[in-house]
A and B are shown apart, each in its own frame.
Chain A
Amino acid sequence: MSPSPLLKVSGLYKNFGGVQAIDDLNFEIAEGELLGMIGPNGSGKTTAVNLITGFVKPTEGEISYRGKAITGWPPYKIVRLGIARTFQMVKPFYQLPAYKNMIIPLYSPRVKQITGGKFGDRDAVALDLLEEVGFERDAFVAYKAASVLPQGYLKRLELAKAIALQPDLVILDELFSGLSLAEVASIVPIIEKLRQQGKTIIMIEHRLKELFRIADRVIVLNYGKKIAEGNSNDVMDNAAVKKAYLGAEA
């Protein structure tokens, strides 16, 4: 591990009235890495993200970002530090056109903070951002109401909303779910571009083949505990991982 990790989670516990969702979770991520977080359904991946981004408060444990403790901070403060996330269930503002959906992240104090208060027309910036994630400009896709857009575009919209916040750490919760192979193939270059820009990325995924192609390192969760960590090959050979996913001794 590099001397000072970007994000460090130590001794994290979360109990939801009897269900131990997160059980002594510890991991770190260095700047510029792409960390994959995998595990069977219900293993606590989304809860871990909710804890990191402040939507849920931990029962015990600490989370620190760039050395500063952010445990228990509300989401808006965490975003202003430079962490952005997408949601597994995309819920855009359906009656609004896609580019109007972008106005809200662009209105965020985080954006004002980064650009120093000088900002162009939010509509124009929104259209530019959408073009970067693949909304074809000449087909005016960005003007369509979110209710008529297919899942692939909605996921890209969600990604664009996160990028608009100009984060240093991006957490993507099952971005690839519900997408065809072609759609995934078209989104991967966008993620690569983010990496080139120096951003750190955590990806929760079920689609392991696609994830392993781009991830540097992977951690595996099961019943709220981390059961394996390493690069993709090591992890998939791990007996505990196989048992968790397949349910039997391999």
Chain B
Amino acid sequence: MWNAELNSRSPEKKRKERIDRGIKVRSSDVFALSSWREMLYLSTPRLLPIVGLLILSIALSHYWQRVLLSVSVFALLAISWDILAQSGMISLGQALFFGTGAYFAGNMNHYFGWPPYVTIPLATIFGGLLCTLFLVPVLRLRGIYFSMVTLVLPLMLVRIIEATRIFGGTEGLSGLGPLPNRWVELYLIIAVLLAALFGFRRLMNSDYGLVLKGINDNDRSVMNAGINIYWFKTQALFIASAIGAFAGAFMTHVYMFVGMPVFALDYSILPIAAAVVGGMGTLAGSMLGAFILVPLSEILRGIGGLRIVFYGLFLVVFTVAVPEGIFHYIQRKYHQFERWVEVE
């Protein structure tokens, strides 16, 4: 009978299937030029940060422009962290790079009187070199030693500066040379941020980046291919520490001051939190994380020390529950869609 037939049939089972969107497939390879829609699909994610930053730089109030400066600096530190992480080095002390660059610039300006457009590039390079030199001996060991040393060094440097009173000691060096005006400050950092984002993304997606990621994945195999993995790691380390040093040198001239706070835990932890929240491995995710966390912490500034409690909790929650990060989620939604299909 009709009823019996219905009842004897097993319930339909469905599963979720995830496939690329049509427009993604159409815009891959040369077919992207076939229509404006495809070109728009490809260019929007790239134009968004550029246009967004430009608009923000003009539309925000003076106070929030300073916040944007801060956001950009942390975004640079987060990008630097991500580059190291993709190469297999987990840095727990971005503050080391930031502080070294800051002190180089501050000291050159204070003791030699060199102007910012000289100190900042020099601090970037020499800061990067010095940090690389400090960390090269640990590159041959298990990754955890790198993390431990990067964690310990800035914390120690703070105490040493405090105790030995060098480089200005507890009061630091103040009255340093400023940048011409706040528009130069803003656009300089935005330009550097965008250049770093797109430039290093390109680098990490190229064959060179593949070698670095290969070292992270299976270093024995890369060594077997005749590549000196320690030299490559050193290069990645230099790039990342130079980025951090630039950020530090830049901020020294924005605040016209350099002191012990440049080695503060904030500068080490926030970039990691930004990368974890935003999504590791894509540079863009780290930047996104910074754009979320820094304004958030500004808003939470009123609650003082509790701010760091929040970072800590954020870190834990995201590491455990949403390990892939927000950017990967958005990226997935942009490129793919999900639907229910019957199980055969």
Contacts and interface: CB of A to CB of B under 8 A. Distances in A.
Q: Touch between A and B in complex, CB under 8 Å? A: yes
Given A91-B218, A93-B217, A103 B224 contact: no
B220 A55 contact: yes
Interface in A65-119: 74-76, 79-80, 84-85, 87, 91-93, 96, 100, 103-111
B225 to A, nearest CB: 4
A76 B221 contact: no
A105 B225 contact: yes
Given A100-B210, A103-B210, A122-B207, A76 B226 contact: yes
Contact of A87 (B221, B222, B226): B221
B160 interface: no
Given A87-B221, A91-B221, A93-B214, A103 B226 contact: no
Contacts of B214: 93, 104
Interface residues of A, number: 27
A104 B223 contact: no
A165 interface: yes
B218 A108 contact: no
A156 interface: no
B220 A104 contact: no
B228 interface: yes
Contacts of B228: 74, 76
Contacts, number: 65
A155 interface: no
Interface string B212-239: 0110011011111111110000000000
Interface residues of B, number: 18
Contacts of A92: 221
A79 B226 contact: yes
B50 to A, nearest CB: 29
Contacts of A104: 210-211, 214, 221-222, 225, 227
A165 B220 contact: no
Contacts of A53: 224
A80 B226 CA distance: 6
A91 B225 CA distance: 13
A8 interface: no
* Chain B facing A: main interface SS: helix
Contacts of A105: 225-226
A165 B224 CA distance: 10
Contacts of B217: 93
A109 B218 contact: no
A22 to B, nearest CB: 20
Nearest to A95: B217
Given A91-B218, A93-B218, A107 B211 contact: yes
Contacts of B210: 96, 100, 103-104, 107
Given A103-B210, A107-B207, A75 B218 contact: no
A92 B95 CA distance: 35
Nearest to A100: B210
A225 interface: no
A96 B222 CA distance: 14
Contacts of A217: none
Given A103-B207, A122-B207, A108 B226 contact: yes
Contact of B223 (A75, A93, A122): A75
A163 to B, nearest CB: 12
Nearest to B228: A76
B207 A87 contact: no
Nearest to A90: B221
A110 B227 CA distance: 8
A74 to B, nearest CB: 7
Candidate in B213, B218, B226, B227 with the most chain A CB atoms within 10 angstroms? B226
A226 interface: no
Nearest to A122: B207
A125 B227 CA distance: 18
A100 B214 CA distance: 11
A109 B227 contact: yes
Candidate in B217, B221, B222 with the most chain A CB atoms within 10 angstroms? B221
Nearest to B213: A93
A161 B225 contact: yes
Contacts of B207: 103, 106-107, 122
Nearest to A80: B226
Interface in A133-192: 161, 165
Contacts of A100: 210
10 contacts: A75-B226, A79-B224, A79-B226, A84-B224, A103-B207, A104-B225, A107-B207, A107-B225, A108-B227, A109-B227
Given A74-B228, A93-B218, 20 more contacts: A55-B220, A75-B223, A75-B224, A79-B224, A79-B225, A85-B224, A91-B218, A91-B220, A93-B213, A93-B221, A100-B210, A104-B222, A104-B227, A107-B225, A107-B227, A108-B225, A108-B226, A109-B227, A122-B207, A165-B226
Counting from the closest, the 4 A-B pairs by CB-CB distance are A79-B226, A108-B226, A105-B225, A110-B226
